[in-house]
Amino acid sequence: MGTNYLTGNNLTSKVAPVSLGSKQATNLIIERARQLVNQFIEQRGHDKPPFLPEEFAHLQGIKKIEKADLGGASAVLFRFHDGYVIKVNQKQSIARQAFSCAHEIGHTLFSELKLEQHIKNIEYRTFNPQALIRVRAKARERLCDAAATELLMPELVFRKYLSGFSISVHSIERLANIFRVSIQTAAIRIAEVSIEPCIALLWQPRLRTKSKGLQLAWSVGPGRSSRGKGYYMPVHTRVAYPSTLHKAYENDSAVKSFKLFKVDTAIKRCPMESKGFGRGETRYVISLAFPDR
Ligand SMILES: [Zn+2]
């Protein structure tokens, strides 16, 4: 590995514990991603986005990023004696390629921090070894995604840009362009780092039905998508046709409505803004809901 400056410092000593909570592992990999970003900012002399993986990959011992035909895979990481090579799927969008690259850099941070030990400690109530392997793989990928998010949209820089304008559904596209990430990753990041509590939701047409209904694909609340106390869960996850959300789906203009959320034991009615993105079969609607407005 190209960089080994972590060896012996107190971050490394935090890695050793036998059992590491999931939250703790996430914090460790994000903290390490943040160090990498800071090193990059220092080197190039400014903190202006975008943060392109190919520009700072060398700091993490990545010799080359190659575009390749990878079939169904988004990216692959190869480890050689003198560093890493990332191959990324050239058929996917530029924003997707950047996220995949950053995710693979996340894998290098993951192995540097020896987080595999944490993954091995994940227990799961099952006698099916395949299920356990799947749960652990998912946990590993989630950690690398968290690192990728911090690399492409460093929390402090993203928040600085976010606070530059009042948050609305129009902020999503602007931030996605500035940070060169997809609309969906930008929307999730807004919900994660916004000072004003904000919930991001993605709606898609219900597949294999003729109902024209929309269905919730995911929602991310404040506090890094943890589903603990204070987590806002939409009461209804399906929307029948016609509706305000369908107006957003069918036109390009943003719409305003209200949405009920379950938070702890209460039900709260929150103002929500929605906008449609994408074309044809892949069209979807993103909403931002604001509990404090
Ligand atoms: Zn991965």
User: pTM of this prediction?
Assistant: 0.88
Cβ atoms within 10 Å of 74's Cβ, excluding its own: 16
Does residue 127 or residue 25 have the better pLDDT? 25
- Distance in Å, CA 72 to ligand 1 centroid: 13
- Distance in Å, CA 135 to ligand 1 centroid: 13
Does residue 230 or residue 33 have the better pLDDT? 33
Q: How far apart are CA 186 and CA 258, in angstroms?
A: 22
Closest C-alpha among 19, 7, 15, 22 to residue 140? 22
Q: How far apart are CA 184 and CA 18, in angstroms?
A: 36
- Distance in Å, CA 218 to ligand 1 centroid: 20
Q: How far apart are CA 183 and CA 189, in angstroms?
A: 10
Segment 35-52, tens digit of pLDDT: 999 999 999 999 999 999
Segment 209-255, tens digit of pLDDT: 788 999 999 999 875 545 567 788 899 999 999 999 999 999 999 99
Q: How far apart are CA 18 and CA 283, in angstroms?
A: 45
pLDDT mean over 16-23: 58
Segment 167-185, tens digit of pLDDT: 999 999 999 999 999 999 9
Give the environment of ion ligand 1: residues with CB less than 5 A. 141, 144
- Distance in Å, CA 87 to ligand 1 centroid: 12
Per the structure block, which two tokens stand in for 229? Answer: 């106390």
